Amino acid sequence: MSEMKYRRLGRTGVKVSVLSFGSWVTFDTQLQTDLALECMQAAHDAGCNFFDNAESYAGGKSETIMGEALRQLGWPRWSYVLTTKLYWGIHDKRQGNTVNMRNTLNRKYLLQAIDGSLERFGHDFVDVVYCHRADPDTPIEETVWAMSDIVSSGKALYWGTSEWSADEIRSAIDIAERHHLHKPVTEQPQYNLVARRRVEQEYARLFEETGYGATIWSPLASGLLTGKYRDGVPADSRGALAGYEWLQSRLTNSDEIAKVERLRPIADELGCSLAQLAIAWCAANPNVSTVITGASRPQQVVDNFGAIDVLDALTPDVLDRVDAALE
Protein backbone atom coordinates (compact mmCIF):
# COMPACT_ATOMS: atom_id res chain seq x y z
CA MET A 1 0.00 0.00 0.00
CA SER A 2 1.23 3.50 -0.81
CA GLU A 3 2.09 5.90 2.01
CA MET A 4 -0.80 7.86 3.45
CA LYS A 5 -1.21 11.43 2.24
CA TYR A 6 -2.00 14.28 4.63
CA ARG A 7 -3.78 17.58 4.07
CA ARG A 8 -4.38 20.65 6.18
CA LEU A 9 -7.80 20.82 7.77
CA GLY A 10 -9.11 23.84 5.90
CA ARG A 11 -6.80 26.76 6.62
CA THR A 12 -5.73 25.46 10.02
CA GLY A 13 -2.21 24.22 10.60
CA VAL A 14 -3.31 20.74 11.67
CA LYS A 15 -2.86 17.97 9.12
CA VAL A 16 -5.23 15.04 8.75
CA SER A 17 -4.91 11.80 6.82
CA VAL A 18 -6.69 11.91 3.47
CA LEU A 19 -8.47 8.68 4.48
CA SER A 20 -9.86 8.46 7.99
CA PHE A 21 -12.00 6.20 10.17
CA GLY A 22 -15.45 6.83 11.64
CA SER A 23 -17.80 4.93 13.92
CA TRP A 24 -21.26 5.75 12.51
CA VAL A 25 -23.56 2.69 12.38
CA THR A 26 -20.84 0.15 13.18
CA PHE A 27 -19.80 0.87 16.78
CA ASP A 28 -22.08 -0.95 19.25
CA THR A 29 -24.44 -2.01 16.42
CA GLN A 30 -21.83 -4.24 14.77
CA LEU A 31 -18.63 -3.71 16.78
CA GLN A 32 -17.85 -3.98 20.47
CA THR A 33 -14.57 -2.81 21.98
CA ASP A 34 -12.31 -5.69 20.85
CA LEU A 35 -13.30 -5.58 17.19
CA ALA A 36 -13.47 -1.77 17.20
CA LEU A 37 -9.91 -1.76 18.54
CA GLU A 38 -8.75 -4.07 15.75
CA CYS A 39 -10.38 -1.87 13.10
CA MET A 40 -8.84 1.27 14.57
CA GLN A 41 -5.43 -0.40 14.72
CA ALA A 42 -5.75 -1.42 11.06
CA ALA A 43 -6.57 2.18 10.14
CA HIS A 44 -3.69 3.46 12.27
CA ASP A 45 -1.29 1.01 10.61
CA ALA A 46 -2.34 2.43 7.23
CA GLY A 47 -1.43 5.95 8.35
CA CYS A 48 -4.82 7.17 9.56
CA ASN A 49 -4.63 9.88 12.23
CA PHE A 50 -8.28 11.10 12.16
CA PHE A 51 -10.98 9.26 14.11
CA ASP A 52 -14.56 10.51 13.91
CA ASN A 53 -17.47 10.02 16.29
CA ALA A 54 -20.64 11.72 17.54
CA GLU A 55 -22.56 12.00 20.78
CA SER A 56 -25.67 10.50 19.17
CA TYR A 57 -24.01 7.43 17.64
CA ALA A 58 -25.51 4.45 19.48
CA GLY A 59 -26.83 6.82 22.14
CA GLY A 60 -23.35 7.66 23.42
CA LYS A 61 -22.07 4.08 23.40
CA SER A 62 -19.95 4.74 20.31
CA GLU A 63 -17.90 7.34 22.16
CA THR A 64 -17.52 4.97 25.11
CA ILE A 65 -16.31 2.13 22.89
CA MET A 66 -13.86 4.33 21.00
CA GLY A 67 -12.57 5.83 24.23
CA GLU A 68 -11.97 2.40 25.74
CA ALA A 69 -10.27 1.21 22.54
CA LEU A 70 -7.98 4.25 22.59
CA ARG A 71 -7.13 3.55 26.23
CA GLN A 72 -6.18 -0.03 25.42
CA LEU A 73 -4.27 0.93 22.29
CA GLY A 74 -2.21 3.39 24.30
CA TRP A 75 -1.35 5.70 21.42
CA PRO A 76 0.17 9.04 22.46
CA ARG A 77 -2.60 11.63 22.59
CA TRP A 78 -0.64 13.96 20.34
CA SER A 79 -0.51 11.36 17.56
CA TYR A 80 -4.18 11.35 16.52
CA VAL A 81 -7.07 13.72 15.85
CA LEU A 82 -10.28 12.85 17.71
CA THR A 83 -13.63 14.39 16.80
CA THR A 84 -17.23 14.33 17.93
CA LYS A 85 -20.50 16.04 17.00
CA LEU A 86 -23.28 17.60 19.07
CA TYR A 87 -26.94 18.37 18.31
CA TRP A 88 -29.33 15.41 18.60
CA GLY A 89 -28.84 14.78 22.30
CA ILE A 90 -29.04 11.49 24.16
CA HIS A 91 -31.00 12.27 27.33
CA ASP A 92 -34.00 10.06 28.06
CA LYS A 93 -37.37 11.78 28.55
CA ARG A 94 -38.11 9.33 31.35
CA GLN A 95 -35.31 10.93 33.40
CA GLY A 96 -36.49 14.53 33.10
CA ASN A 97 -37.53 17.37 30.81
CA THR A 98 -35.38 17.21 27.66
CA VAL A 99 -36.79 20.27 25.89
CA ASN A 100 -33.39 22.02 26.07
CA MET A 101 -31.28 18.94 25.47
CA ARG A 102 -32.42 17.48 22.14
CA ASN A 103 -32.24 18.73 18.55
CA THR A 104 -30.68 22.00 19.62
CA LEU A 105 -27.54 24.11 19.58
CA ASN A 106 -28.43 26.33 22.50
CA ARG A 107 -25.70 27.30 24.94
CA LYS A 108 -27.04 25.21 27.82
CA TYR A 109 -27.04 22.03 25.77
CA LEU A 110 -23.66 22.56 24.08
CA LEU A 111 -21.71 23.37 27.26
CA GLN A 112 -23.15 20.35 29.04
CA ALA A 113 -23.00 17.98 26.06
CA ILE A 114 -19.27 18.46 25.49
CA ASP A 115 -18.62 17.44 29.09
CA GLY A 116 -20.64 14.25 28.57
CA SER A 117 -18.72 13.39 25.41
CA LEU A 118 -15.35 13.90 27.09
CA GLU A 119 -16.42 11.74 30.03
CA ARG A 120 -17.42 8.91 27.67
CA PHE A 121 -14.16 9.21 25.72
CA GLY A 122 -12.10 9.41 28.90
CA HIS A 123 -10.28 12.39 27.38
CA ASP A 124 -9.65 15.96 28.46
CA PHE A 125 -10.36 17.38 25.00
CA VAL A 126 -11.35 16.54 21.44
CA ASP A 127 -9.50 18.02 18.51
CA VAL A 128 -12.64 19.02 16.61
CA VAL A 129 -16.22 19.35 17.84
CA TYR A 130 -18.94 19.79 15.22
CA CYS A 131 -22.46 21.15 15.32
CA HIS A 132 -24.08 18.02 13.92
CA ARG A 133 -26.89 19.94 12.21
CA ALA A 134 -28.02 23.57 12.04
CA ASP A 135 -30.62 24.71 14.58
CA PRO A 136 -33.26 27.06 13.16
CA ASP A 137 -34.63 27.77 16.66
CA THR A 138 -31.38 29.05 18.19
CA PRO A 139 -29.75 32.28 16.98
CA ILE A 140 -26.51 31.45 15.18
CA GLU A 141 -24.81 34.09 17.34
CA GLU A 142 -25.62 32.13 20.51
CA THR A 143 -24.23 28.95 18.98
CA VAL A 144 -21.05 30.67 17.77
CA TRP A 145 -20.39 32.16 21.22
CA ALA A 146 -20.94 28.78 22.90
CA MET A 147 -18.71 26.88 20.46
CA SER A 148 -16.02 29.54 20.75
CA ASP A 149 -16.17 29.26 24.54
CA ILE A 150 -15.75 25.48 24.29
CA VAL A 151 -12.56 26.06 22.30
CA SER A 152 -11.37 28.77 24.71
CA SER A 153 -11.92 26.38 27.62
CA GLY A 154 -9.58 23.84 26.02
CA LYS A 155 -12.27 21.18 25.71
CA ALA A 156 -11.88 21.30 21.91
CA LEU A 157 -9.12 22.71 19.74
CA TYR A 158 -11.30 23.57 16.74
CA TRP A 159 -14.99 23.59 15.90
CA GLY A 160 -16.92 22.96 12.75
CA THR A 161 -20.31 22.33 11.20
CA SER A 162 -22.07 19.34 9.68
CA GLU A 163 -24.76 19.55 7.00
CA TRP A 164 -25.06 23.33 7.35
CA SER A 165 -25.97 25.43 4.35
CA ALA A 166 -23.30 27.68 2.84
CA ASP A 167 -25.26 30.73 4.04
CA GLU A 168 -25.38 29.42 7.60
CA ILE A 169 -21.65 28.73 7.58
CA ARG A 170 -20.89 32.20 6.23
CA SER A 171 -23.08 33.74 8.90
CA ALA A 172 -21.20 31.83 11.63
CA ILE A 173 -17.83 32.91 10.22
CA ASP A 174 -18.95 36.54 9.95
CA ILE A 175 -20.23 36.59 13.56
CA ALA A 176 -17.01 35.05 14.84
CA GLU A 177 -14.84 37.52 12.94
CA ARG A 178 -16.96 40.48 14.05
CA HIS A 179 -16.63 39.54 17.73
CA HIS A 180 -13.06 38.14 17.53
CA LEU A 181 -14.25 34.65 18.44
CA HIS A 182 -12.99 31.23 17.39
CA LYS A 183 -14.63 30.65 14.03
CA PRO A 184 -15.64 27.31 12.50
CA VAL A 185 -12.95 25.78 10.31
CA THR A 186 -14.52 22.78 8.60
CA GLU A 187 -17.77 21.22 7.41
CA GLN A 188 -18.74 17.55 7.53
CA PRO A 189 -21.10 16.96 4.59
CA GLN A 190 -22.22 13.86 2.78
CA TYR A 191 -20.25 13.51 -0.45
CA ASN A 192 -20.00 10.66 -2.90
CA LEU A 193 -20.43 9.82 -6.57
CA VAL A 194 -24.22 10.02 -6.34
CA ALA A 195 -24.49 12.94 -3.86
CA ARG A 196 -22.37 15.78 -5.23
CA ARG A 197 -24.36 18.99 -5.51
CA ARG A 198 -23.74 20.54 -2.09
CA VAL A 199 -19.96 20.04 -2.05
CA GLU A 200 -19.34 20.81 -5.71
CA GLN A 201 -21.84 23.64 -6.22
CA GLU A 202 -23.26 25.16 -3.04
CA TYR A 203 -19.91 25.21 -1.21
CA ALA A 204 -17.75 26.14 -4.21
CA ARG A 205 -17.39 29.84 -3.39
CA LEU A 206 -17.13 29.08 0.32
CA PHE A 207 -14.11 26.86 -0.29
CA GLU A 208 -12.52 29.39 -2.62
CA GLU A 209 -13.06 32.47 -0.47
CA THR A 210 -12.67 31.12 3.07
CA GLY A 211 -10.57 27.97 2.69
CA TYR A 212 -13.16 26.07 4.71
CA GLY A 213 -12.27 22.41 5.22
CA ALA A 214 -14.39 19.35 4.38
CA THR A 215 -14.29 16.07 6.29
CA ILE A 216 -16.77 14.15 4.19
CA TRP A 217 -18.96 11.21 5.22
CA SER A 218 -20.66 8.35 3.35
CA PRO A 219 -18.16 8.09 0.47
CA LEU A 220 -19.76 4.75 -0.44
CA ALA A 221 -23.35 6.03 -0.23
CA SER A 222 -24.09 3.65 2.66
CA GLY A 223 -22.62 0.75 0.67
CA LEU A 224 -24.40 1.35 -2.64
CA LEU A 225 -21.10 2.17 -4.37
CA THR A 226 -19.50 -1.12 -3.33
CA GLY A 227 -21.68 -2.95 -5.86
CA LYS A 228 -22.65 -5.58 -3.30
CA TYR A 229 -26.36 -4.77 -3.51
CA ARG A 230 -26.89 -5.70 -7.15
CA ASP A 231 -28.28 -9.10 -6.13
CA GLY A 232 -30.27 -7.88 -3.12
CA VAL A 233 -29.39 -7.00 0.48
CA PRO A 234 -26.73 -9.31 2.03
CA ALA A 235 -27.63 -10.51 5.51
CA ASP A 236 -24.40 -9.12 7.02
CA SER A 237 -24.66 -5.68 5.40
CA ARG A 238 -25.71 -2.31 6.79
CA GLY A 239 -28.92 -2.46 4.78
CA ALA A 240 -30.01 -5.53 6.74
CA LEU A 241 -29.58 -3.94 10.18
CA ALA A 242 -32.65 -3.37 12.35
CA GLY A 243 -33.58 0.30 12.24
CA TYR A 244 -32.00 0.86 8.83
CA GLU A 245 -34.89 -0.35 6.73
CA TRP A 246 -35.09 3.18 5.30
CA LEU A 247 -31.86 2.45 3.42
CA GLN A 248 -33.13 -0.61 1.61
CA SER A 249 -35.19 1.18 -1.03
CA ARG A 250 -32.18 3.22 -2.09
CA LEU A 251 -29.71 0.35 -1.95
CA THR A 252 -31.91 -1.81 -4.16
CA ASN A 253 -32.98 0.93 -6.58
CA SER A 254 -32.43 -0.48 -10.07
CA ASP A 255 -31.47 2.88 -11.61
CA GLU A 256 -28.86 3.53 -8.94
CA ILE A 257 -27.47 0.01 -9.22
CA ALA A 258 -27.21 0.43 -13.01
CA LYS A 259 -25.08 3.55 -12.51
CA VAL A 260 -22.78 1.68 -10.16
CA GLU A 261 -22.40 -1.19 -12.59
CA ARG A 262 -21.32 1.23 -15.33
CA LEU A 263 -18.38 2.10 -13.08
CA ARG A 264 -17.24 -1.52 -12.77
CA PRO A 265 -15.24 -1.63 -16.06
CA ILE A 266 -13.33 1.48 -14.96
CA ALA A 267 -12.48 -0.09 -11.62
CA ASP A 268 -11.42 -3.30 -13.36
CA GLU A 269 -9.07 -1.38 -15.67
CA LEU A 270 -7.51 0.36 -12.67
CA GLY A 271 -7.13 -2.95 -10.86
CA CYS A 272 -9.21 -1.85 -7.88
CA SER A 273 -12.59 -2.54 -6.32
CA LEU A 274 -15.63 -0.35 -6.84
CA ALA A 275 -15.33 0.77 -3.23
CA GLN A 276 -11.71 1.82 -3.68
CA LEU A 277 -12.60 3.74 -6.83
CA ALA A 278 -15.44 5.56 -5.06
CA ILE A 279 -13.30 6.47 -2.02
CA ALA A 280 -10.37 7.60 -4.17
CA TRP A 281 -12.74 9.70 -6.30
CA CYS A 282 -13.84 11.61 -3.19
CA ALA A 283 -10.24 12.17 -2.14
CA ALA A 284 -9.38 13.46 -5.62
CA ASN A 285 -11.42 16.59 -4.87
CA PRO A 286 -8.82 19.11 -3.60
CA ASN A 287 -11.41 20.73 -1.32
CA VAL A 288 -11.80 17.48 0.64
CA SER A 289 -9.56 17.42 3.72
CA THR A 290 -10.32 13.82 4.62
CA VAL A 291 -12.67 11.01 3.54
CA ILE A 292 -14.27 9.31 6.55
CA THR A 293 -14.60 5.58 5.99
CA GLY A 294 -16.34 2.97 8.12
CA ALA A 295 -15.90 -0.76 8.49
CA SER A 296 -17.24 -3.72 10.43
CA ARG A 297 -14.05 -5.80 10.32
CA PRO A 298 -10.30 -5.12 10.05
CA GLN A 299 -9.93 -6.55 6.53
CA GLN A 300 -12.58 -4.13 5.33
CA VAL A 301 -10.48 -1.29 6.74
CA VAL A 302 -7.45 -2.57 4.83
CA ASP A 303 -9.49 -2.89 1.65
CA ASN A 304 -10.93 0.62 1.97
CA PHE A 305 -7.56 2.17 2.68
CA GLY A 306 -6.24 0.53 -0.47
CA ALA A 307 -7.95 3.47 -2.18
CA ILE A 308 -4.78 5.46 -1.49
CA ASP A 309 -3.12 3.39 -4.25
CA VAL A 310 -5.85 4.42 -6.70
CA LEU A 311 -5.69 8.15 -6.07
CA ASP A 312 -2.78 8.91 -8.39
CA ALA A 313 -4.40 6.87 -11.18
CA LEU A 314 -7.42 9.19 -11.31
CA THR A 315 -6.25 11.29 -14.23
CA PRO A 316 -8.53 13.91 -15.80
CA ASP A 317 -9.41 11.38 -18.50
CA VAL A 318 -10.45 8.76 -15.95
CA LEU A 319 -12.48 11.31 -14.01
CA ASP A 320 -14.27 12.30 -17.21
CA ARG A 321 -15.11 8.64 -17.85
CA VAL A 322 -16.51 8.34 -14.34
CA ASP A 323 -18.72 11.38 -14.92
CA ALA A 324 -19.93 9.95 -18.23
CA ALA A 325 -20.77 6.60 -16.60
CA LEU A 326 -23.03 8.31 -14.09
CA GLU A 327 -25.03 10.38 -16.55
Active site residues: 57
Q: Across the chain, where does the E strand assignment appear?
A: 6-8, 15-17, 19-22, 50-52, 81-86, 126-131, 156-161, 186-187, 213-216, 290-293
312: exposed, middle or buried (C-beta count within 10 Å: 0-12, 13-18, 19+)?
A: exposed
Three-state secondary-structure class, residue 106: coil
- Contact predicate 159/187, CB 8 Å: no
DSSP label at residue 198: I
- Contact predicate 260/224, CB 8 Å: yes
Measured distance CA(248)–CA(264) in Å, rounded: 21
Mind spelling out the 3-state secondary structure of 79-104?
HCEEEEEECCCCCCHHHCCCCCCCCC
148: left (phi over 0), alpha (psi -120 to 50) or beta: alpha
Residue 208: how many other CB atoms lie within 10 Å: 10
Dihedral sign for Cα 200, 306, 247, 129, please.
Answer: negative
Q: CA nearest 85: which of 125, 56, 124?
A: 56
Q: CA nearest 55: which of 135, 112, 137?
A: 112
- Contact predicate 152/189, CB 8 Å: no
